[in-house]
Amino acid sequence: MNSSGSGLADLDRRITGCRACPRLVAWREEVARTKRAAFADRTYWGRPVPGFGPPDARLLIVGLAPAAHGANRTGRMFTGDRSGDVLYRALYDVGLASRPTAVSADDGLELRGVRLTSPVHCAPPANKPTPGERDTCRPWLVRELDLLRPTVRAAVVLGAFGWQAALPAFSAAGWTVPRPRPVFSHGARATLEAPGGEPLRVFGCFHVSQRNTFTGRLTPAMLRDVLRTAAGAAGLPTKDEE
């Protein structure tokens, strides 16, 4: 394993042991104890969820936080819930994932040149981390970006919360965020220069939440388009649109 790979593996282990935010610790563990009826016979992860994907990823996808009965149950980003179903299907459709579904951490799914992460690593009540929890968790994202710097060339940020959380992390990791700060929108684009390094192309995308996908605010075609464009900016091959 290269130094970035070993560094990310160590980072992931450290993240899973974090207990810095009392409200989030209490919530994630309560959910893991009480469970959802459909998963009553399952053992929940109930801990912070680390990033998922290869250590030499060229494309980073930044979400919001683990879902209570999704990643907080399975222990892997966007795995085991409907938001993940939408995201992984789109990644598979454009050639960035080995399979179209994600049901458990040991289902054999592999990402191709892509890593998934989030600015908050614990499931929050009502899917709403506080600004303080976001800021407490930020050093984990900054460290992850530091380790990915040699290879990452583009990022897709899902939703306004992720956008607001990610831009300061990108800045702390050494990229220059333009002034005035880019505003989030679906299809937003920004280029973050890096003194002495490669720039990062950043793309905004509506979050793959059920609220957005059920109402048609974000369609599979819209998601595929953003992923394909970002993959191209990152230098990753994709499948052609059918």
d(CA 229, CA 106): 29
pLDDT at 136: 98
10: Cβ contacts below 8 Å, ≥ 6 apart = none
What average pLDDT does range 189-205 have in this prediction?
Answer: 96
Q: Would the pLDDT of 62 be above 70?
A: yes
Percent of residues, the chain, with pLDDT higher than 70:
97
- What whole-number distance in Å separates Cα of residue 73 and Cα of residue 71? 5
Question: In this predicted structure, what is the pLDDT of residue 240?
Answer: 72
Q: Which residue has the tokens 């800045």?
A: 171
How far apart CA 73 and CA 90 sit, in angstroms, is 22
Q: Which two tokens stand for residue 99?
A: 């399979």
> What's the Cα-to-Cα distance from 14 to each of 26, 62, 98, rounded to whole Å?
19, 19, 27
| Alpha-carbon span 199 to 196, nearest angstrom | 9
| Arithmetic mean of pLDDT, 34-52 | 95
Q: What band does 4 get if pLDDT is binned at 50, 70 and 90?
A: low
- pLDDT tens for 106-163 read 999 999 999 999 999 999 999 999 999 999 999 999 999 999 999 999 999 999 999 9
How many Å apart are CA 128 and CA 118, to the nearest integer? 13
Instruction: Give the pLDDT confidence score for residue 1 in this predicted structure.
Output: 41
Give the position of tokens 């990452």: 152
Given a cut of 80, whether residue 242 has pLDDT beyond it is: no
The sign of the CA dihedral 229, 231, 233, 235 is negative
CA distance 135 to 116: 19
Q: 3-class secondary structure for the chain?
A: CCHHHHHHHHHHHHHHCCCCCHHHHHHHHHHHHHCCHHHCCCCCCCCCCCCECCCCCCEEEECCCCCCCCHHHHCCCCCCCHHHHHHHHHHHHCCCECCCCCCCCCCCCCECCEEEECCCCCCCHHHCCCHHHHHHHHHHHHHHHHHHCCCCCEEEEEHHHHHHHHHHHHHHCCCECCCCCCCCCCCCEEEEECCCCCCEEEEEECCCCHHHHHHCCCCHHHHHHHHHHHHHHHCCCCCCCC
Instruction: Tell me the pTM.
Output: 0.95
170 pLDDT above the threshold of 90: yes
Query: What mean pLDDT value characterizes the chain?
Result: 96
